[in-house]
Amino acid sequence: MTDLLKFDFCEMHIYDSYVIVTINEGIIISPKHNIELNNVVETYFRNKKFVYISHRINSYAVDPATYIETSKIKNLKGFAVVSKGYKAKSNAEVEKLFLTKPFEIFDDMAKAISWTKSILNHEE
């Protein structure tokens, strides 16, 4: 499955066991954005484990309280950030403290997808 969903704040590429999300430039992600994520989870990953991959190619901010809500998604088994930028990676290190799921930071998408598969296989 490879659906593309476009929202006013991001694009989501849906795959069988993960979603790749690219947030738009200048957005401030807050807990209210979890409403859309929950709708996507309910539609595409109902009763199915998945990993969220954040492809950080744009500059934006995340309210850490967002991760408290994200942590409540039972079938979310991991969260990955993919970025080559120092600032995005250092921000992700702080964000990592607020999520109660496995959270890793990668330089490239292939490594993040490989980690996704290992997390989901480990869960089974």
Neighbours of 64 (CB within 10 A): 16
Q: Give how many domains the chain has, as a whole number.
A: 1
**Order of strands across the sheet with 103-106?**
3-6, 10-14, 18-23, 50-55, 76-82, 103-106
- Give 19's strand partners: 14, 52
What pLDDT, on a 0 to 100 scale, did the predictor assign at position 46? 92
State yes or no: pLDDT of 124 exceeds 90.
Answer: no
Q: Residue 70 belongs to a domain with what CATH number?
A: 3.30.750.24
| Distance from C-alpha of 9 to C-alpha of 20, rounded to nearest angstrom | 14
pLDDT score at 107 = 95
- Do 13 and 4 contact (CB within 8 A), yes or no? yes
Domain encompassing residue 115:
3-123
- Model confidence pLDDT, tens digit, residues 74-113: 999 999 999 999 999 999 999 999 999 999 999 999 999 9
How much is the mean pLDDT over the chain? 93
Q: Tokens representing 60?
A: 């934006």
pTM, full prediction:
0.94
Mean pLDDT of 23-32: 94
Alpha helices of 33-106 — where are they, by DSSP H? 34-44, 65-70, 86-95
Give residue 23's identity as a one-letter amino acid code: I
